[in-house]
Structures are given as C-alpha cells and as structure tokens.
Amino acid sequence: MSVLTVERALAALEAAAEPARATQMAGYHKQKRRVLGVPNPVINSLSQDWRKAFGAQDDGLTARCALAQELWASDVFEARIAAAKLLTQARIKEDAPVWDLLQSWVPDFDSWAIADHAASAIQKRLQAQPERLDTVEGWTSSDHMWTRRAALVSTLPWAKLPNPKPEELAARERILGWAARYVPDRNWFIQKSIAWWLRDLSKHDADRSRAFLAEYGAAMKPFARKEATKYLASSDEDTADASATENE
C-alpha cells in the first residue's frame, strides 16, 4: 500500500459521506465543526485498514500517531473519531507517544461523541499502566468540564472489574472519591458521568454502588440518580422475588 497521508485518509472519509446524515448528525451532536455524515461502521472499517497498513511499516506506531494527530487537527467530526480509533488498542509496546498524544487532546474535548471515543483509547493506556491514574486525578480539578468528565469516563474499566485484586479495589475507591467530589457539580454531563460509573459498578458490586448512593444519592440530580440505579432496581426485585419464593 502506498504511503497513507492525511489527504488520502480524509478523501476516504469524504467518499463515504452522506449529506442527509451529516445534517442530522450535526444537529444531534450540536456540532459547529464540519460533519461528513459517515456511519460509524465505516469509520471502524477504515481505521482498522489504516492500522493494518501501519503495522507493516518499520516505524508504524510513529506514523500512526502522526496521522492521528493530523486527523485530529483537521477538526472534521469523523476525522477526530477516526483519530481516536487509530489509537484504541490494548497492547502497544513502548506506548508513551500514544499516551502523550491522547493527553494532548483532552483540553480540546467539546463533544461527547468525540470525547468518548478518545476516552476509549485512554482506557487502554490506563489499563496498561495504572500508575497513570496519578495524571488523571489532576484532570478532576480542571476548569474545563470535559476534562473533568474524562477522568470518570476514562476510568470505567475499574467499575467493570468482576473480581478486582486489592490494588484494583484501591484504585476503584480512589475513583469513587473523585465521583463523590463531583456530586455538587450540577452540570448535566458531569452528573451523567457519575451515574454511568455507578451504573456499570452496580453490575459487578451492587453493594458498593448502593453504599455510594446512600451517602451521596440525595444530592445527585434526579435523572442521574435514576440512571445510577437502573440495574440495582432489577437486582432488588430479583432478590425480593427469591425471598418470596423461599417463604412460600
């Protein structure tokens, strides 16, 4: 395959553009940047092809980071999502350049779709080196709402651990401490991030999720509290049904 330039990558995205979808997406995602209307499965396919192409190069990771940065700098909606997908990979040897690049994007977050795709890439780098949570903790005091939100969205893997080790439990408690400090923040996206964390946690540690809500739930916005208890309600109903059956 010939050298993949940002011009070629953008041309591939533009070739898959759907104008009618673009108008709908721009409204839904509240975008002022250019939106092409490319379906997410197409972005997935293109980014996978690009990653394979770079894998065959001698310095594929460096070239991949360079393209990701150029796609991000283009400020096209789908290009930023593609940039994040290019860097979403569990195992990367000597991943410091990827981690540094992802960190550099965080202050640019201004859209939940772009932020969440980038957060998926960040999650992999945090799982690879959990000590990077020290850096993420700094995000929790940022003046930039999207940076604060990224601290919780990027650490969701710790909410999903089915059998956490002691050090993973400690990290989980650390992150729940961040969530507790967020509770007074009335911003919808911040409240949603708290709810998202607790909702995912409730699938694996319902008691800990209930304990958080018992202490802080009354101060959360009603929609966030409802979202956080989405699976707890069904779990409580199952427990009640089981108890009733035993007593029959």
The CA dihedral of 158, 114, 183, 135, to the nearest 10 degrees, is 60
Residues 121 and 28 in one domain: yes
pLDDT computed for residue 243 by the predictor: 40
CATH of the domain at 13: 1.20.1660
9 plus 123 within the same structural domain: yes
Looking at the fold, whether 52 and 101 belong to one and the same domain comes out as yes
114 and 203 housed in the same domain: no
Contacts for 41 with CB less than 8 Å, ≥ 6 apart: none
Q: What pLDDT score was predicted for residue 236?
A: 56
Same domain, 112 and 169: no
Number of domains into which the chain is organized: 2
From 79, 112, 128, the end of a domain falls on 128
Domain span at 206: 159-242
Q: What are phi and psi of 239, to 5 degrees?
A: -65, -40
Judge if 96 and 173 occupy the same domain. no
Instruction: Report if residue 145 sits inside a domain.
Output: no
Per-residue pLDDT of the chain (248 residues; tens, 9 = 90+): 457 999 999 999 999 999 999 999 999 999 999 999 999 999 999 999 999 988 766 578 999 999 999 999 999 999 999 999 999 999 999 999 999 999 999 999 999 999 999 999 999 999 999 999 999 999 999 999 999 999 999 999 999 999 999 999 999 999 999 999 999 999 999 999 999 999 999 999 999 999 999 999 999 999 999 999 999 976 554 433 434 434 44
Residue 167 falls inside a structural domain? yes
CA distance 73 to 105: 10
- On whether both 1 and 122 belong to a single domain, the answer is yes
Burial 133-167 (b: 16+ CB within 10 A, else e): beebeebbeeeebbbbbbbbbbbbbbbeeeebeee
Opening angle at CA 170, ends 169 and 173, nearest 5: 85
The answer as to whether 152 is a domain residue is no
Q: What is the pLDDT of residue 152?
A: 98
- Co-location of 101 and 42 in the same domain: yes
